[in-house]
Amino acid sequence: MESSRERRGGFKMTAIRERKCRLCRQSGKKLFLKGERCLSKCPIDRRGAVPPGQHGNKRKRKPSEYGIHLSETMKVKRIFGINERQLRNCFRQARKVREATGESLLQILESRLDNLVYRLGFASSRRLARQLVDHGHVLVDGKKVNIPSFLVKENQLVSLGGKALNLTEVKKKLEEKDYKLPVWLERKVSVGKLSRLPKKEEMETEIDEQLLVEYYSRK
């Protein structure tokens, strides 16, 4: 899937990857925006989390409280590939739940269909997972769903359509022997299930959910 695009426009794909590296360096940590590629040849591993640009090594002013909150929201949007409106809507949904708003917000983000396709190991990155959903390759309880933001409920089955199984990227991922499946998910070959909502400590993403709650509660 991605490899064919690279053959058609290698320079363009390289530029996209470089932009993703800049986003990680701006955030000061790996966001895994390129999936498995972030495990090797990462600029942060070589040079540390130095901000991009010629002034990246210069000392910066201590960020304001607002800047810290804003930076965390930007990091979350980059990790999950969503925009401000989508994140705000997720926060509104989280406030309606009886549990802690911050943890509920993270659970909603983790329950997005594109994220689950990535977490289940069907795609090497959330961007590729979103492409699979957009192109109609993903089924929920046997029905095609092409909405990346679709929220999967507990015990619903997420599977890949027949055409997706012929894609090189997908076949490569399904053949991986050492993929570590999150404990709140179940998978058998190309069919997975959200067995339960994850707890805060079970979510791999390093996000300070309290900063998000404080940021959106003021608006």
Q: What is the pLDDT of residue 121?
A: 96
Give the pLDDT confidence of 177-215 residue by residue, as tens digits: 889 999 999 999 999 999 999 999 998 778 999 999 999
pLDDT reading at 2 higher than 60: no
Give the pLDDT confidence of 44-97 residue by residue, as tens digits: 666 655 666 555 555 567 889 999 999 999 999 999 999 999 999 999 999 999
| DSSP category for residue 62 | P
Report the predicted TM-score, pTM, of the whole model to 2 decimal places.
0.74
Q: For CA atoms 66, 105, 186, 193, give the dihedral sign.
A: negative
Rounded alpha-carbon distances, angstroms, from residue 109 to 80, 168, 196: 8, 27, 14
Topology (CATH) of 112-202: 3.10.290
Give the pLDDT confidence of 160-174 residue by residue, as tens digits: 998 999 999 999 999
